[in-house]
Structure 1
Amino acid sequence: MRVGGPAERILAAHSSEELVEHARELWDDGEDWLLLGGGSNTVVHDDGYPGPVLLVRSTGISPIADEAAAAEGRVRLRVQAGHDWDHLVAATVERGLAGIEALSGIPGRAGAAPVQNIGAYGQELSDVLHSIEFLDRYLDEVIRIPAAELGLGYRDSDLKRGREGVVLSIDLLLTPTAEGDADGSAPIAYGQLAAALGAEIGDRAPLREVRNAVLKLRASKGMVLDPADHDTWSAGSFFTNPIVSERFARTLPADAPRFEIGDEDDAPAVTTFEELSLGMPLRVPEPTGERLVKLSAAWLIEQSGVRKGFRIPGSGAAISSKHTLAITNRGNATADEVAQLGRLVVQRVQQEFGVILQPEPNLYGLEL
């Protein structure tokens, strides 16, 4: 976004070993510090970050021998945490490996991908993630965590919810395809992408065609960085699409987009540490069978009166002229102006529809 102040000091780790070494030193020092990949999903206060920032710059992609994966017709790849995500996608497409081609154009580093469980155009990292290599702060050990134990959900994971440590590498399970295979990609699962390819939901297409179509779609929404285009000076989607009960969704206008995603039967029990210390057992919620639906944050924002290009008078921050989900820097914005516009959007949507939007970027020293 090109806003925010400086860090107190910067460290850079160019290998897993350096990453472990620096992280342990910083934890031992006892002060707060920030782990940063590409920084594309981060908005920092104008005063900057009042402590050390550790940059993850380890790179590399290597195949891992895995008989179970081979038996399923898949290939296992290990990717270092600092590897540029889109460079990884480009490399897998060139190698004829399917599974992340619709995640083309997403900025950032591979190690951040499981934290957010990145997703776009019908694919999510959780579809192909095998495991992560993780330096656990409290165990003080490097451990391997299977994807099934990461609590991966819509733009969410246990890592995002507070499991402290550092992702050192990620392992992916991808599917080899023949050169020029017209049915090479994973099944197309997103209507807009299918339309761009002249295909139907469930069809497959050559990997390069899928990647190129995704990059064009992202660029049309200002989601591929172009230094000359202020619509791309953003943190991508500033809000996540809300997930609500089907019952609540029925209170919204009939033309509000909604996508069924499941039910609440598996919702985690919530018990406070204070209750546990008093001997209370973990709460287990009664299954309700309530269906869940995902709403369109972009639709809610537009229908609340915040249109493309909207800005508060005198502010350097504005809603993208291409996509209402992006808050952009028009060239002279401050982080405070970005947060101010974010708060206004949240207030408008809450007043109009009773839905509280949640920010997608990581905010430091800022509140909505």
Structure 2
Amino acid sequence: MRFRPLRSATAPEAVAELVPDPPAEMRAAVIDETGEPSALHTAVVPVPSPVLSEVLVRVVAAGVNPIDAKTRAGRGVSAAIGGFPAVLGYDFSGIVVRSPYEAHPLQPGTAVFGMSAFPRTGGAYAEYVVVPSLSVARKPSSLSHVEAAGVPLAALTAWGLVVETAHAHEGQRILIHAGSGGVGHFAVQFAAYFGAHVTATASGANAPWLRELGAAVVIDYTTTRFEDVVSNVDVVIDLVGNVRENTGTRSLGVLRPGGLLIEVPTGGWEGYADAAAEAGVRATSYKVIPDGGALATIGRLLDSGSVQVYIDRVFDLGEAAAAHAEIEHGHTRGKVVLRVSDD
């Protein structure tokens, strides 16, 4: 194994830790075709090579998201997969192995977290991943790699929904469906942090926890129809769509005139825009942007204790199929994470 001596960009005279060159091959959880969770299996595949502004990261942990399961099943972004076997996964936390150039801010040895460019490149369910450097930020020092791997996609989605689209502010009334999920628990915290009055739907068991995160009101969707107790809200962040009891359609009736519906699930409700216009409210979909700058801001909120990530379950890389089955069960609190390698 060859080692390359590295020097800090901020202190050229100081020699950084020695970082081993990557091997030629790596373990990864892959699919050979779309299908059930059992389609995921472990294989040995080539380690990807970074080009231009990309960094190569040794993955310690990888987050598991609903979009991963949808893609594996033949929905989601499966149509854009260029070939098989395909390595799934967006979220990761790990250690930079190769940087674009010697003075780049993210030098080898730097602990980072971020999002892969899957399906344009291989995903994060692997020992190594190549990612655009602008999709990466330094890992929050207060988080373990397992915790950090649960952050990027969910937190960036929630940030885009709450901060960039809803423009959360003092006194604003926001209803968040599926508040205890990966995106939901971040959305509740961001909205509360910026002063909004937050109402969340979730199972009754999650109500005390969501109140701790900042929700002023939690509605148990198993016992209460939210439209019976909520009205005249400014924004609905719909993380369910019409796949469960027409949650999206029912949300239109609780918005104030001119209020905003943000419809998130891919394929969750095809006719939302026309239905919103007919109801006299605004509507938009949302797709996550892997913005390293925003992720760095989120990292500072995590380090300050203003925001927290909740990890529901941790699986080993070889248990990726079980992790997908858990996600598809639909009742996880916070995030599910794969442990890929040692820290």
The TM-score normalised by the length of structure 1 is: 0.26
Structure whose residues are more often strand by fraction: 2
TM-score, with normalisation over the residues of structure 2? 0.27
